[in-house]
Structure 1
Amino acid sequence: MFKGHPKGLMVLFFTEMWERFGFYTMLALFTLYMKHYFGWDTDKSGQVYGLYLAFVYFTPLIGGYIADKYLGYRKTINIGAAILMVGYALLAVPNPSEMFFYFALIVLVVGNGLFKANISVLVGNLYDNNSPLKDAAYNIFYMGINIGAFLAPLAASFLRNKAPIYIKNWFGINVNGFNLAFGAAAIGMLLSLVIFNVYKEFYLDSDRVKHEEASLNGKEISPEQEKERIFALLVIFFIVIFFWMAFHQNGFALTLFADESVKRSITIFGYTLTIPPELYQVFNPLFILILTPVVVGFFGYLARKGKEPSTPAKIGIGMLLTGFAFLIMVAASLAGGDLNNNSVSPMWLISTYMVVTFGELCLSPMGLSFVSKVAPPRIKGLMMGGWFVATAIGNYLAGFVGRYYHKWPHSKFFLLLSVLAFVSFGLVMLSLKKLNHATREEID
């Protein structure tokens, strides 16, 4: 998989993999922790969930600026990783007050802001801007993200539900499964930090505080061309807000649907499997790992035929598929999910995760590559932060809209998400010509 790529890609792959393990271990239990430990209702937990995710993805804008102007990418990432480790360790403290819980979330927000955008910039900086390997590099990097995301719900479910029983039986000690899972997230961040520093010589050349010249493909970028590229980025940022608003219902509405509407078990080939609600979050990264070769192979086939869609067109396809994914949830709700009596087949929810994953593969890794290619070099960290700001707004809206999950029939709630995704697809198609012009490889 890494053949032909710089060794630094492997270092960044595993650094990001363990960081995402920590993030998604915490996220898998976040809503359930607020519900079962603090006893918060959907309205309050939705607000906290949305605000946390909004700030987690907004602060990379600041972290990117700090790296561009002052510290460089490696130092900024190191500081962010250390702060993240402390934040997860704080969540692992037993019996926290609400204020202590909020403080731990603030620490996580700061650490993530310094870490997240800058490691994505480092990946792009390993390659020349016109390198044919850059898109593939981001696909590989995205697989690292999702290996961590795949392992996280498995670890979270085991540590929450099984590990306390084993510890009680073996050692006679009562422990809280939530705290064990948050402690595992802190260990994941420690591994991320160690890998990033032990093998730093493989990516040091890509750690540039400033780019000496604002050029692309060996030619100078005029102010007009820079404005055109920034405008194209802003258009894409606006459109993907609605993807993240829908996608991040995986930790809120889709988790609540799994907890309240889906049957607790499924029979496959005569075997009955029990699926805890938090474990459904494993399907998205699992499908990422399975479907990435399919999507990459399909677009490679189209490229050989001269019919591969442009990067903005792929983002539009991702929005279209997201709309269809949430239409499945509309059908699931009408088939019994609206009743909240755990009567719906798990296959409805699993099917939704599969379709939305196809959409994600057309949108998210291509978005990272798009920013790396199009962003003016002097503000690359800032613009990568802008991608995460779009994610932040979508995440806040995920929680804001999530407050209506129990106020409306679930079918109506999921229909809203589907319609917004289809509208976003339409916006991409309407602006596709201008977006393609801004992302042309050669500068006139």
Structure 2
Amino acid sequence: MSSKKSKHPKGLYYLFFSEMWERFGFYLMLAIFFLYMIDAQNGGLGISKENASDIFGTFIAFVYLTPFVGGLLADRVLGYRLSISIGGILMALGYIGLALPGDFAMIASLALIIIGNGFFKPNISTLLGGLYSKPEYQEQKDTGYNIFYMGINVGAFIAPFVASYLRNNYGWGYAFAAAGVGMFLGVLIFWLGNKHYKEADVLKPAAKNDMSLTRIFSIVILPAVIAGVLGWVLIPGNIFGSDSTDAFIFGAIPIMVFYGSLWARASAEDKKPIAALLSIFAVVIVFWAIFKQNGTALTTWAEYYTDREMVEGLEGPAGAIGMVQKVDQSLSTVPDYDGNFRARTDADGKVITKEGVSPYLNNLPQQDWPSEGKPLSLISTELFQSINPFFVILLTPLVVWFFTFLRRRGKEPSTPAKIMWGLIITALSTLVMVGAVFAGMNGAEKSSAMWLVGSYAVITIGELFLSPMGLSLVSKLSPPRLTALMMGGWFLSTSIGNKLSGVLASMWDKYDHKAYFFLVNCLGSLLAAFAIFLMLKWLRQIVLAHTGKS
């Protein structure tokens, strides 16, 4: 490989830091949003885990549903740079709005974040792909997306530490406001790099067989809104578990039909690549349904079932930077009738983690409780969400090196095969959590934090095999005029998976033995991997035909 071909476009580095700060804001908010909703002791909303999981899943679902509209408008009308700027500003205002009290402020702020992400997320990824359209950069596209993905995770790694410091020392509102500041920094950096991606910001007019914007809004988006409202208001009972889930699924159906129509009306040249992308979109829903449980099910495991006591000697420095939560007996539960303090249970034998009490003490032996007047120092729960981005930063260079090593020997897996292996590795990560359940006697005792660290390490490898490769595949196979729209399709699959993650997490308390919860996730991931295995030859042929390499 010549040195000329080994270089990356300069715009990559501006997009890297723009995305880093955007993801800092987003993941700061996500790190504490679930905890904020279930907190009943320190100014949170004090709602149940089931309802909080449903709200969390619905929010992150809509966050990744709006890229369908944002990608469409960027392709046809606004262009990528303007769309990214609009999205970033709206998201910043949304984060700052979460610092304001009241239900209206929260709903309006979540709406701003959802709309803003729709303009920002698909278009910065598409703009990056456009930078690699020149022949001297094309061979480096996968690596470029890996580097870009590392920028995402630098922001995600820093975010929980800032969130922990601000919410422990000043309150929830200050932490949410910091997310807005980070987003504004991302927009500023994006503007500074404007000249480096100006040439890649090209409108893509509709082809002869493409729907007009007016037609798309009238027969896709408007029906989606109407279907969502009907699913929320008029459908008797909860078909899919909750009103919000019904609304989301019914609302997503017209959009899924639209993507099917893209394939049906495509030219003979475009049919196969669109079919390949739609097949990948359908399968990776399972990955996101598992991966996004880091904000719900895995946060629940960290909050209630993981040993979070500070190691002696670290309590002081950690407390100084806001990593420590304090728990004392004044908020603790009372012993069961038989004096068993290891787990407080209800009449059906389920572990109780009621709001208004200290959940950490529910399954902690009484002899380990703090003495009267001396709080127990715990690592803040949200810090566990920094583990995944930490491993992304650590492992991305190794994964890039590994694929480069295989490429030089002609043994690099195809992009679809990388996605398949990502799903297999994801299944293995759920088995680590099965081990955590047995080590903690199904929640009766605290389990070591290393189980969560191990699970995050494994799923991060799966993520690096799958997520950046999916973005790269969309950029490779999409018809040029539909690139941002198909990127919106990738995020639609993410959206559906995110909603399913909330649905799955809301069932947490319905599993008497938590191992079954994680085994269901394992089976789903293996089935998804098998589906790609069955399509692998067909997918390789399509990628080879359109890129010259598999």
Q: TM-score, normalised to structure 2's length?
A: 0.73
Structure 1: distance between partners of 2:21 and 2:176: 14
- Name the counterpart of 1:14: 17
**Out of 189, 194, 198, which is 1:195 matched to?**
189
The question of 1:254 aligning with 2:298 is answered: yes
Structure 2: distance between partners of 1:410 and 1:263: 17
Q: Could you tell me whether the CA contact under 8 Å between 2:76 and 2:206 is conserved in 1? A: no
Matching residue's letter, 1:10:
Y
Structure 1: distance between partners of 2:89 and 2:279: 34
Q: CA deviation at 1:265?
A: 2.8
Structure 2: distance between partners of 1:24 and 1:282: 9
Q: CA deviation at 1:340?
A: 5.4
Larger RCO (alpha carbons 8 Å, 6+ apart): 1
- Name the counterpart of 1:237: 281
In structure 1, stretches of 5+ residues that fail to align are: 165-176, 215-221
Structure 2: distance between partners of 1:139 and 1:399: 27
- Name the counterpart of 2:309: 265
RMSD: 2.0
1:267-416 correspondence runs (5 A): 267=311, 274-336=378-440, 338-339=442-443, 341=445, 343-408=446-511, 409-416=513-520
Q: Could you tell me whether the CA contact under 8 Å between 1:60 and 1:389 is conserved in 2? A: yes
**Out of 94, 109, 115, which is 2:120 matched to?**
115
Q: Could you tell me whether the CA contact under 8 Å between 1:211 and 1:377 is conserved in 2? A: no
Q: After superposition, give the CA deviation of every residue in 1:397-438 in whole Å (9 maximum; x if it has no partner).
A: 000111111221321111111110111111110110111111
Q: CA deviation at 1:3?
A: 7.4
Structure 2: distance between partners of 1:213 and 1:42: 48
**Out of 141, 149, 162, which is 2:148 matched to?**
141
The question of 1:4 aligning with 2:107 is answered: no
The question of 1:52 aligning with 2:156 is answered: no
- Name the counterpart of 1:207: 201
Q: What is the total number of aligned residue pairs between the two structures?
A: 419
1:140-179 correspondence runs (5 A): 140-161=147-168, 163-164=169-170, 177-179=171-173
Structure 2: distance between partners of 1:160 and 1:338: 30
- Name the counterpart of 2:259: none
Q: CA deviation at 1:275?
A: 2.5
- Name the counterpart of 2:237: none
Higher alpha-carbon Rg: 2
Q: Could you tell me whether the CA contact under 8 Å between 2:17 and 2:151 is conserved in 1? A: yes
Matching residue's letter, 1:105:
L
1 or 2, which has the higher helix percentage? 1
1:58 is paired with a residue whose SS is coil
In structure 2, stretches of 5+ residues that fail to align are: 209-265, 319-377
Q: CA deviation at 1:441?
A: 4.9
Q: State percent identity of aligned pairs.
A: 46
Structure 2: distance between partners of 1:180 and 1:337: 38
Structure 2: distance between partners of 1:242 and 1:138: 22
Matching residue's letter, 2:19:
E
Change (3 A) 1:247 1:337: farther
1:83-122 correspondence runs (5 A): 83-93=90-100, 96-122=101-127
